Amino acid sequence: MTLPRSTPSAQGVDAAGLLAFVDAIERAGLDPHSLMVVRHGHVVAEGWWRPYAADRVHLAYSLSKTVTATAVGFLVDEGRLSLDDRVLEHFPELDRARVAPGWEDVRVRHCLSMTVGHEEDAWGQVFDRMSGSDFGSDSDWVARVFATTPTREPGTVFAYNQVATYLLSLIVRRVSGEGVAEMLRPRLLDPLGLPDIPWHRDPLGRELGFTGSHLTTEAIASLAQLYLDGGRWQGRRLLPEAWVEEATRAFGPLNEDPGADEDWRRGYGYSFWMQRVGYRGDGAYGQFLVVLPEHDTVVAITSEQERMQSTLEAMWEHLVPALGGAGAAPDGGGAEQALAARLDALEIPALGGGGLGPGAAELTRSAASDLARDYTAVSVTRDGADHVLGLQRAGEWIRLPVGSGAWREGELVAAGATLPVVASGGWVDAETFRAEVIVIESPHRFRVEARLGAGEADLTWRLVPLTGRDPLWLATRWS
């Protein structure tokens, strides 16, 4: 733990409002995995939906941009990098004849603010996330990035653009001589008492920058607290106040995407979104680092859901009003006890089953499956009261323990990757076996439903990861 703990009432927070927020995000089906609320520098509410836990890291997706931008901030403070540096100057080895026109005047601040000059995300021109083939090569993606053409002057158009932060992560490496994770160890992680940050990397082993960081919930909250406190941590100056002020205010043109929700149309700083109250970093499927300066509060949330605006709407309706302290009894009252009990009981229900089923069965993949096509068959073997689930991938069997009515820990090990998972399930009747597999260091899980009568099994994601359909592409451990 890096942050001090307190009760809601001691920090002027209405526990009933926090409880209403938890109820609202569960009732809306937003599949929360963790929550931490920090008021006046003290954690006043925290909870993890088991089997997620405080000491587990969680794929943060685009919250990684905030981490990478913070690394840039340190180098700017040290005078080793300027916001006005031309990005191309940091890649002198490139054949300029192969660089698309429009990159000449793109500066570091344009990458931070998503105003490179692209009118849409250029990442799809660099990498096909559903193929995964590039991860097995030694390809350098830099030339592909600079082959994409900015169609507007830098600074004149906003487009949420993965290539911008990818370039920043490479610049951090070139300027510091270390990757983002390594250079942040003495500057950020050690002072805040935080664990290492596993990352998804490109084929040359470099952090993606725009995605792929894996953070504990407390790491998210601690980074938010650093920004709330203007770059100071427990009285010690880490980041310049001027950097924090510039990074957390809207820069340049607004997001004009007609499909964007309200809290994505209020402006973008240096990897921070402006919002109805305060500002935030966020990541796909509901990863949130929320800073509410007016209330001296930060909120960290991890989850797996499709419409992130719904989480923010619940925050504005329930959590923010609770920060005035209205209705909070001096001792917290029964609401504080109810909140503590509720947070202690959070869980994702484990699957089980009362069916007998056979001792062993093997089935082929069904046409309804949406896991990667390398997964061609499923086996189920009884193991006492539990089971062992087999997944055949590219001709190789991967086997996982499956708890009956409880989550069992295991690993997907194949193709040089090791991916921690937890699984539960059982025979729901004599013909049907169901299991759920949570990729526990990510937001994601998939369901296996095997039907003896049909001789086949569905392998289906709850929500397909942005890394693609193969669970192994979520791994950070590679041999």
User: Is the confidence at residue 331, as pLDDT, over 80?
Assistant: no
| Least confident span in 133-137, 144-148, 232-236 | 133-137
Q: Mean of the pLDDT values across residues 342-371? A: 96
pLDDT, position 129? 54
Q: Where are the domains of the chain?
A: 9-344, 360-478
Better-predicted residue by pLDDT, 328 or 353? 353
The string of pLDDT tens digits covering residues 6-47 is 999 999 999 999 999 999 999 999 999 999 999 999 999 999
What's the average model confidence in pLDDT over 159-168? Answer: 96
Residues 61, 213, 122: CA angle, nearest 5 degrees: 50
Q: What is the mean pLDDT of residues 209-232?
A: 98
Chain mean position to CA 101: 33
Mean pLDDT of the chain: 94
| Amino acid code (one letter) for 384 | G
Question: How far apart (Å, rounded) are the C-alpha atoms in residues 226 and 236?
Answer: 10
Measured between alpha carbons, how far is 438 from 442 in angstroms, rounded to an integer?
A: 8
The residue type of 51 is P
pLDDT at 126: 85
Read off the pLDDT of residues 401-418 as tens digits, 9 standing for 90 and up. Answer: 999 999 999 999 999 999
CATH class of 9-344: alpha beta
Q: Residue 149 class from Cβ within 10 Å (0-12 exposed, 13-18 middle, 19+ buried)?
A: middle
User: Do the Cβ atoms of 201 and 247 come closer than 8 Å?
Assistant: no
Query: 36 has which bridge partners?
Result: 46, 300
Q: Which two tokens stand for residue 267?
A: 């402006």
Q: 3-state SS of the chain: helix, strand, coil percent to 5?
A: 30, 25, 45
Residue 410, strand partner residues: 421
Residue from 103, 108, 120, 187 nearest 160 by CA: 120
Contact 227, 63 (CB under 8 A): no
Q: What is the pLDDT of residue 256?
A: 82
Asked whether the beta carbons of 371 and 460 are under 8 A apart, the reply is: yes
Residue 131 has pLDDT above 90, yes or no: no
Percent of the chain with pLDDT over 90: 90
Q: Has residue 136 got a pLDDT over 80?
A: no
pLDDT at 333 over 60: yes
The span from the CA of 317 to the CA of 302, in Å, is: 19
For residue 137, pLDDT beyond 60? no
Query: Would the pLDDT of 381 be above 60?
Result: yes
Confidence at 324, pLDDT banded by 50, 70, 90 = confident
Structure tokens at 1: 């733990």
Q: In angstroms, rounded to a whole number, what is the distance separating the alpha carbons of residues 76 and 42?
A: 30
pLDDT band, residue 254 (cuts 50/70/90): confident
pLDDT in tens, 427-465: 999 999 999 999 999 999 999 999 999 999 999 999 999
Length of the chain: 479
| Phi and psi based region of residue 180 (left: phi greater than 0; alpha: psi -120 to 50; beta: remaining) | alpha
Who has greater pLDDT, 253 or 131?
A: 253
Tokens 């419409």 belong to 307
pLDDT digits (tens, 9 = 90+) for 259-286: 888 899 999 999 999 999 999 999 999 9
The reported pLDDT for the residue numbered 326 is: 47
Mean pLDDT of 174-184: 97
Q: Is the pLDDT of residue 328 over 60?
A: no
Burial of 207 (0-12, 13-18, 19+ CB in 10 A): buried
First and final C-alpha spacing in the chain: 31
Sort strands 432-438 and 417-427 into parallel, antiparallel or unpaired: antiparallel
Mean pLDDT of all residues in 358-379: 97
pTM over 0.85: yes
The confidence score (pLDDT) of residue 258 equals 85
Cα distances (Å, whole numbers) of residue 408 to 386, 433, 460: 9, 16, 20
pLDDT surpassing 50 at residue 327 = no
